[in-house]
Amino acid sequence: MSSQSLALDNPGGLLRRLSDLLYRKPTLYLSMLLIPPLLWFGAVYLGSLLTLLWQGFYTFDDFSMTVTPDLTLANFAALFQAANFDIILRTVSMAVAVSIASGLVAFPIAYYMARYTTGKTKAFFYIAVMLPMWASYIIKAYAWTLLLAKGGVAMWFIQALHLQPLLELILGIPGVGGNTLSTSHLGRFLVFVYIWLPFMILPIQASLERLPPSLLQASADLGAKPRQTFMQVILPLSIPGIAAGSIFTFSLTLGDFIVPQLVGPPGFFIGNMVYALQGSIGNMPMAAAFTLVPIVLIAVYLSIVKRLGAFDAL
Amino acid sequence: MRSNAEKHGEQASWGLKLAAWGGLVFLHFPILIIFMYAFNTESSGFSFPPQGFTLHWFSVALARPDVLEAIKLSAQIAALATVVAMILGTLAAAALYRRDFFGKESISMLLILPIALPGIITGLALLAAFKRFGIEPGFLTIVIGHATFCVVIVYNNVIARFRRTSHSLIEASMDLGADGWQTFRYIVLPNLGSALLAGGMLAFALSFDEIIVTTFTAGHERTLPLWLLNQLARPRDVPVTNVVAMLVMLATMLPILGAYYLTKGGEGVAGSGK
Amino acid sequence: MTLAVQFTDVSRAFGDVKAVDRVSIDIQDGEFFSMLGPSGSGKTTCLRLIAGFEQPSAGSIRIHGVEAVGLAPYRRDVNTVFQDYALFPHMNVLENVAYGLKVKGVGKSERLARAEEALGMVALGSYGGRKPVQLSGGQRQRVALARALVNRPRVLLLDEPLGALDLKLREQMQSELKKLQRQLGITFIFVTHDQSEALSMSDRVAVFNKGRIEQVDTPRNLYMKPATPFVAEFVGTSNVLKGELAMQLNGSPLPVSIRPEHTRLANGEALDSDEVEVSGLLHDIQYQGASTRFEIQLENGQNFSVSQANNQWQLDDAPVQQGQRVSARWARGAMVGLREEM
């Protein structure tokens, strides 16, 4: 028989009474849930970010190679010196070029996936794009060093197709070429495009999927030829997806230091500079100042791209 | 089943088909090359075309103490980071999936930040903080770094599942006499099950492969990616590097596929965005 | 007789909105009590207050004499059948039904046996091994019922449990539920927006409107003696006459209600002394099989309905035509005086 009293006679153990308390006080329950993650992120993550930025104000004595907590803006000012500014320019121009190229290469793939595949084929394409995205970054970079090497696959193909003259020509162009394929800007550019490509494909594909077919039918119904429908309807509506993908390509290129090291002509990227400064040199303040550049640039880029609707496409 | 376009009599042009499939080939070609090289007889390791087929390098690689050491270290770090990420991610998801309160959006942005900002920023920031407080970079610092950006991976998967779970299930459980803990154990956890597992697997894969933040937060430890980076300066060791690279690829593809199958057909496929 | 549930001045506000506004009810032990009203009227909120899923902003709720405010749902001897059934998808039917016993620590063989018994009570004895997703809507509803009843609660709450079922099934379940309640003798508190459902099953019904209770009474009294215009028009259909017309016909400015089936069309004979009459333009005739409904537009613009049973088994020519001027008559005593709108 059920108990005569309303509340069970046995108030239960400590756990049950704790459950009662949390039920009566939902705010307490919420705080208990949030405190561990917030503590971690607040202390560990935000704390370290602020420490880093604060370091940017410290002074680095070139002679003694030590850091002193004298506050100064010299580090940030130094960013505008020719040598440093070169680095920044080099990195940003590569980031922009890679984003544009990735967009161009990714679009047909995403478009085909979204509009012309269904069921098993679509799942196949999806996995086929996702797996390289999650495959180890360092291995992908490593694979390209093998590909671009003097005795590697790329050279083999070029020789087999008798394209050496063309290669020489391209390698001769300043800003694009270099001594060999693997020490050329082109090589570095190719590697970047390759590695970030899946990050561009998936958001574009997602935003194309969301395109209601009735829009395209309406366009055709109103007399537009397929090419016009594409230019006037599909392309503008896929801009949020392209913008979303570009967030990844832009910010990932800005911060990378491994690919520039492995492939391409000598010349630091922001990432290399940061790594070098904090490493053996120990100039943490300058390194911190340099990291501010991608932070600011990404923040600016995010605000531009947000207006294009990228956040809804993520 | 016919695709959207095919329903209206459109066929993809040959150019488009070529571009799409060509793109896929482009994406997979370098990976397949590594696989091919792993079996290559020649010790230069990257010549083309391959000379012969052999399993010799596999046995060499797996006997190398530095390889085994690196694999073991990466696995331990990934396991620990994943556990921390699963706990913190689930707590955050439980707090944020329903209620609306002041600061809710900022918290979700905060969780995304470690993965949204480039790795050097996260890595350098952590290093600066560790140095400031006199903590020596080592095993634990690597775990802390990895756990921080793995949280959002678990969080995304778990919160999507929470949102799909009808709240009346929790009410029904309490109505039938189960208190908060019993409800969590018997009702919530089983329903979260596969989403939590998927998130954990993705977090594990992410941590296992991570290199940028790790370079800043590691002391003398050498995780597998760091080992691979180091190998790039050793041209004579290329065959062993190839074998290890291939094994690592295969090993991390499994959790990714697993996570995909666990969550497909549901709220949002795991792994669709890092 | 003990009170199963007692609300005293209970209010529940969500921000500025008062979902429940100073409600007081006494629900007797062992009665089939329904809470009826349109959506948003507060009836479901009241049910959830009894179950413990919400806490009142003010007032006291006593369940079998014990104050329940502040008690979690698992502390109350009350069980709920949910509108969406809320069956646990990862357990089979038998495990679902046995759940309440499991969390109380009942041993495995005993709880499975009792679960089987409960399933038998709802005629699903052989379905124990199935998963909820394999059942039809009606079957899931019965599993939800068994799952609640196996715990032998003293009060069973039902939150619009029949809403998703089709008409025939709904009617069948209505009589089954009523039978079950009589058999078990426990208090059933039933929430619905369907007035015919509430009337046919309940011992008493509380009619909710905008967070308040307008009337609590037996089905018959609710129908024959509605207290307010809202009740008159929500329970069945009614003609509610106000203002000057009410003054004229009833001698009081308060509104009156007269049911369409208590009126008839005048045949030309003289007005009886205990009858009153209104006239207007007949603008619609609706043949409804067992009865015919005549819609008349009165002088003051109001619509007046007359419903007459089609007693004749012979087909006659229609006595009246659309567009005619007609009069509706009824006995003075058939009018019910109402309170003003709340």
| Partner-chain contact A6 C64, CB within 8 Å | yes
Judged against a pLDDT cut of 60, whether residue A131 lies above it is answered with yes
With contact defined as beta carbons under 8 Å apart, do C11 and C23 qualify? Answer: yes
| Partner-chain contact B256 A130, CB within 8 Å | yes
User: What's the confidence (pLDDT) of residue C4?
Assistant: 93
Question: Tokens 């909820």 appear where?
Answer: C132
Tell me which chain C residues have a C-beta less than 8 angstroms from the C-beta of B191.
89-90
Tell me which chain C residues have a C-beta less than 8 angstroms from the C-beta of B195.
none
Tokens of A141: 């970079």
Distance from C-alpha of A90 to C-alpha of A268, rounded to nearest angstrom: 8
Distance from C-alpha of C137 to C-alpha of B83, rounded to nearest angstrom: 40
User: What's the confidence (pLDDT) of residue B37?
Assistant: 81
Q: Which amino acid type is present at position A237? A: L
| Partner-chain contact A2 C151, CB within 8 Å | yes
Tell me which chain B residues have a C-beta less than 8 angstroms from the C-beta of C99.
173, 176, 178, 186
Lowest mean pLDDT among A85-99, B97-111, C46-60: B97-111
- Closest residue on chain B to C103 (Cα): B178
Size of interface A-C (CB pairs under 8 A): 31
Tell me which chain C residues have a C-beta less than 8 angstroms from the C-beta of A8.
75
Judged against a pLDDT cut of 80, whether residue B75 lies above it is answered with yes
User: What ipTM, to 2 d.p.?
Assistant: 0.83
- Closest residue on chain A to B15 (Cα): A108
pLDDT digits (tens, 9 = 90+) for B239-256: 888 888 888 888 888 888
- Closest residue on chain B to A36 (Cα): B88
| Residue C287: count of CB within 10 angstroms of its CB | 9
Residue C207 phi/psi, 5-degree rounding, is -95, 120
Distance from C-alpha of A23 to C-alpha of B41, rounded to nearest angstrom: 67
| Partner-chain contact A131 B253, CB within 8 Å | yes
pLDDT digits (tens, 9 = 90+) for A13-42: 888 888 888 888 888 888 899 999 999 998
Distance from C-alpha of C55 to C-alpha of C6, rounded to nearest angstrom: 15
Distance from C-alpha of B80 to C-alpha of C27, rounded to nearest angstrom: 56
Closest Cα in chain A, distance from residue C100 (Å): 12
User: What's the confidence (pLDDT) of residue A9?
Assistant: 47
DSSP 8-state assignment for residue C74: G
User: What's the confidence (pLDDT) of residue B174?
Assistant: 95
Judged against a pLDDT cut of 70, whether residue B189 lies above it is answered with yes
Q: Which residue, C25, C61, C22, C20, is CA-closest to C44? A: C20
Tell me which chain C residues have a C-beta less than 8 angstroms from the C-beta of A19.
72, 74
Q: Which residue, A163, A186, A165, is CA-closest to A174? A: A186
Q: What confidence tier does B105 reach under pLDDT thresholds 50, 70, 90?
A: confident
User: What's the confidence (pLDDT) of residue B50?
Assistant: 67
Distance from C-alpha of B122 to C-alpha of A130, rounded to nearest angstrom: 24
How far, CA to CA in Å, does C267 sit from each of C201, C270, C328? 39, 9, 9
| Residue B143: count of CB within 10 angstroms of its CB | 21
DSSP 8-state assignment for residue B268: S
Distance from C-alpha of A237 to C-alpha of B237, rounded to nearest angstrom: 50
pLDDT digits (tens, 9 = 90+) for A175-188: 777 778 888 888 89
Tokens of A72: 């100064």
Judged against a pLDDT cut of 70, whether residue B213 lies above it is answered with yes
Please give chain C's pLDDT, 342 residues, in tens: 689 999 999 999 998 899 999 999 999 999 999 999 999 899 999 999 999 999 999 999 999 999 999 899 999 999 999 999 999 999 999 999 999 999 999 999 999 999 999 999 999 989 999 999 999 989 999 999 999 999 999 999 999 999 888 889 899 999 999 999 999 999 999 999 999 999 999 999 999 999 999 999 999 999 999 999 999 999 999 999 988 888 888 888 899 999 999 998 888 788 888 899 999 999 999 998 889 999 999 988 899 999 998 887 766 666 788 899 999 999 998 999 998 765
DSSP 8-state assignment for residue A281: I
pLDDT digits (tens, 9 = 90+) for A44-53: 888 888 888 8
pLDDT digits (tens, 9 = 90+) for A265-308: 888 899 998 988 888 778 888 888 888 889 888 888 888 887 77
Buried (b) or exposed (e) across C47-77, using 16+ Cβ within 10 A?
bbbbbbbbbbeebebbbbeeebeebbbbbbb
Distance from C-alpha of B68 to C-alpha of B77, rounded to nearest angstrom: 14
Distance from C-alpha of A8 to C-alpha of A16, rounded to nearest angstrom: 12
| Partner-chain contact C80 B172, CB within 8 Å | yes
Residue C317 phi/psi, 5-degree rounding, is -65, 145
**What rounded mean pLDDT belongs to chain B?**
84
User: What's the confidence (pLDDT) of residue C280?
Assistant: 93
- Closest residue on chain C to B182 (Cα): C103
With contact defined as beta carbons under 8 Å apart, do B74 and B210 qualify? Answer: no
Q: Which amino acid type is present at position B190? A: P
**Mean pLDDT (whole number) for A216-240:** 87
Q: Where are the beta strands (DSSP E) in chain C?
A: 3-14, 17-28, 32-36, 58-63, 66-67, 78-81, 155-159, 187-192, 204-209, 212-217, 239-241, 256-258, 264-265, 275-287, 291-298, 303-309, 325-331, 336-337
- Nearest CB neighbour to A6, from listed C66, C72, C74: C66
**Mean pLDDT (whole number) for B27-56:** 76
Helix (H, G, I), strand (E, B) or coil at C337: strand
∠ CA A208-A214-A219, nearest 5°, is 90
Tell me which chain A residues have a C-beta less than 8 angstroms from the C-beta of C154.
2
Tokens of A139: 């291995």
Q: What is the DSSP string of C251-305?
A: SSSS-EEE-GGG-EE--SPPPPTTEEEEEEEEEEEEE-SSEEEEEEEETTS-EEE
Contacts 24+ apart (CB under 8 A), C319-322: C319/C265, C319/C267, C320/C265, C320/C282, C320/C285, C320/C294, C321/C282, C322/C282, C322/C283, C322/C284, C322/C285
Interacting residues of B175 by C-beta distance below 8 A, sequence separation 6+ = C51, C52, C53, C73, C74, C78, C79, C80, C148
Tell me which chain C residues have a C-beta less than 8 angstroms from the C-beta of B190.
90
Q: What is the DSSP string of B178-207?
A: --HHHHIIIIIHHHHHHHHHHHHHHHHHHH
Judged against a pLDDT cut of 50, whether residue A65 lies above it is answered with yes
Burial label, A36 (beta-carbon count in 10 A; 0-12, 13-18, 19+): middle
Strand-pair category, C303-309 with C66-67: unpaired
Interacting residues of C147 by C-beta distance below 8 A, sequence separation 6+ = B176, C87, C96, C97, C99, C100, C118
On whether any CB of chain A is under 8 Å from the CB of B137, the answer is no
How far, CA to CA in Å, does C107 sit from each of B145, C101, C104, C112? 47, 8, 9, 9
Radius of gyration of chain B (CA): 23
User: What's the confidence (pLDDT) of residue C315?
Assistant: 67
Beta bridge partners of A59: A68
User: What's the confidence (pLDDT) of residue C96?
Assistant: 96
Distance from C-alpha of B92 to C-alpha of A212, rounded to nearest angstrom: 34
Interacting residues of A84 by C-beta distance below 8 A, sequence separation 6+ = A78, A273, A290
| Partner-chain contact B128 A52, CB within 8 Å | yes
User: What's the confidence (pLDDT) of residue B54?
Assistant: 76
Residue A110 phi/psi, 5-degree rounding, is -65, -40
Q: What confidence tier does A312 reach under pLDDT thresholds 50, 70, 90?
A: low
Polymer length of chain B: 274
In this complex, the chains that touch A, judged by 3 or more CB pairs closer than 8 A, are B, C
How far, CA to CA in Å, does C133 sit from each of A290, B160, C69, C137, C158? 58, 21, 36, 10, 21
